Amino acid sequence: MNLADMQRDFYAWLTDGALTVEPQVPEPARRGLAVYHNALRANLIDCLSDSYERTHAWLGDAAFDTAARGHIENHPSRSWTLGDYGAGFAETLAGLYPADPEVAELAWLDWTLRRAFDGPDSPELDTASFAEIDWEDALLRIAPTMSVRRLTTNAAAIWSALASGSEPPAPLRLDRPAAVVVWRQEFSPRFLTVSDSERHALGLAMAGLPFGDICSELRDDFPDDEAATVFVGAMLARWLAEGVIVGVETNRI
């Protein structure tokens, strides 16, 4: 058998869930094959457990192990790095736990925070020039690690409780979905539940709209101009302070 065929056969055997060995394989090799067969699953389960630490804690060892093994059987790794392997596990959990949507939402938080941890860096924000900025035309550069989605459950509260070692709340569905944003501030991955207006503004900024246009779009969310201005001012200040905005591109006055 040539090298390529041997490797294809070996890999197919490794990833086959059943540890079956052809009867003509001698005993020493059978023992060795079992080592490799077990190691593949152990490595990938460890990888998923590491990437989905809070989800693992929420489900418990037995349920997490079952979910991970099922995922591994149906999702061979196609990346050179184990760091990519967890992509798609939240969808697997969504399929396994349709009546418990907090599980997949916890997994989304775990995965997105992990990706933010070693995601792209941003240049240091040059705040010294802000006084000269024409904010009406300014384009806000949002942190490259930013992700936004709506959660239907209190998964964010569960995640925070698990992370702090306190008793997590019982899972519940929210009256209406809540927007959660995930990003990295300096070296620390963070998430925050935000209002629909802030989610809307963030989406517009990420789409490249000038700040003035974002303000106009938000105007209808508020009863009057003053309320809108106060909201936008506070949001902008927080975005700048918390590393949501990592750059401002503008024509200088």
Partner 1 sequence: MRASHLPTFQGFGLGLRTPHYKDFLTATVPVDFVEIISENFMVQGGRPLATLDQIRERHPVAMHGVSMSIGSADGLRLDYLRGLKALADRVRPLWVSDHLCWTGIDGLNSHDLLPMPYTEEALNRVCANVLHAQDVLERPLLIENPSSYLTFADDTLTEWDFLEEMCRRTGCFLLLDVNNIYVSGMNHGFDPLTYIASIPADRVRQIHLAGHTHGRAGLLIDTHDQPVPDPVWALYEAARRRLGPVATMIERDDNIPPLGDLLAELDMARTLSMEAAAA
Instruction: Give me the helix-helix angle, 27-51 and 3-15, nearest 10°.
Output: 60
Q: How far is the CB of 36 from partner 1 (least distance, A)?
A: 6
Please tell me whether residue 10 binds partner 1 under the rule CB under 8 A: yes
What is the Cα–Cα distance from 191 to 15, expressed in whole angstroms? 36
What is the Cα–Cα distance from 101 to 88, expressed in whole angstroms? 15
Please tell me whether residue 117 binds partner 1 under the rule CB under 8 A: yes
Which stretch, 4-12, 158-166, 191-199, 218-226, contacts partner 1 (CB under 8 A)? Answer: 4-12
Give the type of residue at 149. R
- Are residues 141 and 248 in contact, defined by beta-carbon separation less than 8 angstroms? yes
Task: Give the one residue of 52, 64, 85, 111 binding partner 1; rule: CB under 8 A.
Answer: 85
CB atoms within 10 A of CB 202: 22
Instruction: For the segment 148-167, give every residue that binds partner 1 (CB under 8 A).
Output: none
Please tell me whether residue 8 binds partner 1 under the rule CB under 8 A: yes
Please tell me whether residue 20 binds partner 1 under the rule CB under 8 A: no
Q: Output DSSP code: residue 166.
A: S
Q: How far is the CB of 30 from partner 1 (least distance, A)?
A: 9
What is the Cα–Cα distance from 186 to 33, expressed in whole angstroms? 45
Q: How far is the CB of 1 from partner 1 (least distance, A)?
A: 8
- Are residues 130 and 143 in contact, defined by beta-carbon separation less than 8 angstroms? no
Q: Please give the radius of gyration of the chain, using alpha carbons only, rounded to the nearest integer.
A: 24
Backbone angles phi and psi of 26, in degrees to 5: -70, 160
Which stretch, 40-48, 90-98, 224-232, 235-243, contacts partner 1 (CB under 8 A)? Answer: 40-48
Task: Give the one residue of 22, 62, 78, 170 binding partner 1; rule: CB under 8 A.
Answer: 78
Please tell me whether residue 39 binds partner 1 under the rule CB under 8 A: yes
Residues within the interface to partner 1 (CB under 8 A): 1-4, 6-8, 10-11, 14-15, 28-29, 31-36, 39-40, 43-44, 47, 76-83, 85, 116-121, 184, 187
